[in-house]
Chain A
Amino acid sequence: AQSVAQPEDQVNVAEGNPLTVKCTYSVSGNPYLFWYVQYPNRGLQFLLKYITGDNLVKGSYGFEAEFNKSQTSFHLKKPSALVSDSALYFCAVRDNAGNMLTFGGGTRLMVKP
Chain B
Amino acid sequence: SAVISQKPSRDICQRGTSLTIQCQVDSQVTMMFWYRQQPGQSLTLIATANQGSEATYESGFVIDKFPISRPNLTFSTLTVSNMSPEDSSIYLCSVMGGGYEQYFGPGTRLTVT
- Give residues in A with beta carbon < 8 Å to B: 32, 34, 36, 41-46, 49, 51, 90, 94, 99-101, 103-106
Residue of B nearest to A106 (CB): B42
- B99 touching A103 by the CB < 8 A rule? no
For chain B, the bracket of interface size reads 20 to 34
- B107 touching A105 by the CB < 8 A rule? no
**Most A CB within 10 A of own CB, among B33, B41, B43:** B43
Chain B residues within an 8 Å CB radius of A99:
31, 48, 96
Q: Apart from A43-B106, A43-B107, A101-B102, what are 5 other A-B pairs with CB-CB below 8 Å?
A: A46-B103, A51-B100, A99-B96, A100-B48, A103-B43
Output the least CB separation between B34 and chain A (Å). Answer: 12
**Most B CB within 10 A of own CB, among A44, A51, A94:** A44
